[in-house]
Homo-oligomer: A and B are copies of this chain.
Amino acid sequence: MAKKISGIGQKNILLDIDDTLFPSTEFSSLARKNALNAMISLGIDSDYTTLHSKLGSIISRHGSNYQNHFGDLCKELRIRRPGRYVAAAVAAYHDTKTAIQPFPKAPLALMRLKQDGHRLYVATNGDSIKQWDKLIRLRLALFFDDVFVSEELGVQKGEGFYRKILKALGAEAEGCIMVGDREDVDIIPAKAIGMKTVRLLSGKYAKGTSSADQTIKDIGDLPTAVRRL
């Protein structure tokens, strides 16, 4: 007679996207670099250092989700007909963003977790279409049983966000594991409501202490970290 093992040790594993499934910090920086170089290729009357520094200030002022970085950059440089430069920058920026690749060991790690019988979910802050776009570009969408985006839940990552996910899953916190790169939004609130946590040290938030139950440096180590919980 077959032993009934399904259900035993099965967890709901929630994963962040940016700097957890792919090196988002690196790709953003490369996208900006490619955009500025595309403006230079089309003959903009400025140099890389000036462009980079001005773009940096615009991004700090308006945030990285602002839609008109390159238009503002041309305005600051007093370019009379900016269409060609904005178009070149936006094209190069988007081409880089659409070429995002997962961390090399991410697909195999997710496959192993599925084989171990776990259910996988995405838990991410942001705009629903943008976050889905990343999952589709990364070719990882089909690994996940469901995707929870702050825009759709109506609340940013925090205790309330994770409670809403528990309710949607009809699950207890004890059976859930949250995996992410940020101590403040991924680890602390998930832990506070009783979930287990795994912190991935990656991207611009890699520094600083970790209060997570497990801390890993490579997403490839996630299946082992989960087994230890």
Contact = CB atoms under 8 A, between A and B. Distances in A.
Contacts of A91: 98, 133, 136-137
Contacts of A141: 42, 84
Interface residues of A, number: 27
Contact of A81 (B38, B42, B152): B152
Contacts of A84: 132, 135-136, 141, 147
A86 interface: yes
A83 B132 contact: yes
Given A90-B129, A136-B88, A149 B83 contact: yes
Contacts of A30: none
Contact of A129 (B86, B135, B149): B86
A196 B141 CA distance: 54
A94 interface: yes
Contacts of A38: 136
A136 B35 CA distance: 13
Interface of A: 38, 42, 81, 83-84, 86-88, 90-91, 94-95, 98, 128-133, 135-137, 141, 147, 149, 151-152
8 contacts: A38-B136, A42-B141, A81-B128, A81-B152, A83-B147, A88-B136, A90-B129, A91-B137
